[in-house]
Amino acid sequence: MTEPVAASIGTPPATTGGVLDRVEVGGTRGGPPTRRRRARPPQRNPLRAWLLLAPALLVLGGLLLLPLVRVTTMSFEDMSGLRALARGEGDFVGLDNYREVLGSRQLWLTVLPNTVVVAILCVVLTVVVGTLAALLLESLRPRTRALVTMAILTAWAVPAVTGTYIWIWIFNPGDGLVSEAAQALGLVDPGGENWFTNRYAFFAIVVINVVHHGYPFVALTVLAGLLTVPAELTEAAVLDGAGAWRRFWSVTVPLLRPVFAVVTILSTIWDFKVFTQVFLMPGGDGANREVLNLGTWSYVEAFGQIEYGIGSAIAVVLTITLLLITSVYLRTLFREGELT
């Protein structure tokens, strides 16, 4: 793979005092191209460019765009019952579906709080734990690092279904690991406490599960970033008398801001639509109405009831919410022109 032109040109950064304003350094506006041949404008033949893009566009269009358009149109239709589904179209009902979704008390009292609070907790904890793991990995020698990385990766490699069942076993009332420990310590009655029936305990377990499953991705991505932090920057900071804490916040974090943006946005998107980790928990499939989140609620209310119009409306609302959150993130995380 060839290096992008933009990345291979420019002036080297100043080693003193240049850390914090590194943002302004570099870019295509700057120095002259170092390799002449590469600088020849490639867009002589637009047709060729489109031809090369065509396979990717077709796949994206087929897999992403088409369903997106269909979901949007369906959210304005009355697609209830198998009959409408078999016919493949419903009557146009305007905003009725949206009115029904947004007018639901359950949505505002249970579903949204569950979703949002859990998502925030999960994102924050995933990023913090992942970053700590990355810092640990960075400080290890290569062989040890490989070993620890593999250990961490197993948590990621385990499918969400399997992982969820493992956490259920651990917290299983009566004979789970945690239950037995709590009973041995005399914290709960011998019969055991059923944590799954308590909304807060239920979601505490969900958060542990989601963070455990999600942090390896953050750790590896942040580690990849950490390894590209030039040694001379850290050296300069050490010479300036900065301690580890200061170096982390003033050198590492600003440099890795794009990395954090990527992992935070991806985690937010994933954690907002957590489904498996809730649905498979005891009572999470709708039997315990207190613990419904957006994913399980839409499944139970829309797909279980064969109300595809409602389901589509929920999907559209979720997509727009996530787009908004993402754009707010991008705005706050980056001053203008930083993310290219």
Least spacing, CB of residue 275 vs another protein, in Å:
11
With tokens 């022109």, the residue in question is 337
Q: How are beta strands 91-92 and 77-78 bridged, if at all?
A: antiparallel
Task: Pick between residue 46 and residue 190 the one whose CB is nearest to another protein.
Answer: 190
In this structure, the chain runs to a length of: 340
**What H or E segment, with its residue span, contains residue 57?**
helix 46-60
Least spacing, CB of residue 164 vs another protein, in Å:
14
- The token duo for 205 is 């377990």
- The token duo for 172 is 């299983």
Note the Cα 12 to chain centre separation in Å. Answer: 34
Task: Pick between residue 52 and residue 143 the one whose CB is nearest to another protein.
Answer: 52
| Cβ contact 193:185 at 8 Å | no
Task: Pick between residue 68 and residue 255 the one whose CB is nearest to another protein.
Answer: 255
Task: Pick between residue 94 and residue 230 the one whose CB is nearest to another protein.
Answer: 230
Least spacing, CB of residue 292 vs another protein, in Å:
10
| Cβ contact 299:279 at 8 Å | yes
Region of 88 (left: φ > 0; alpha: ψ -120 to 50; beta: rest) is left
Least spacing, CB of residue 222 vs another protein, in Å:
9
Least spacing, CB of residue 25 vs another protein, in Å:
5
Task: Pick between residue 301 and residue 317 the one whose CB is nearest to another protein.
Answer: 301
Site residues (vs another protein, CB under 8 A):
4, 6-7, 10-11, 13, 22-23, 25-27, 63, 81-83, 85-86, 88, 172-174, 191-194, 196-198, 217, 221, 224-225, 228, 230, 255-259, 262-263, 266, 282-283, 285-290, 300-301, 303-306, 308, 338-340
Residues 6 or more apart whose CB falls under 8 angstroms from that of 42 comprise 49
**Whole-number Å distance between alpha carbons of 119 and 183:** 31
Task: Pick between residue 116 and residue 269 the one whose CB is nearest to another protein.
Answer: 269
Least spacing, CB of residue 85 vs another protein, in Å:
5
- The token duo for 45 is 């033949």
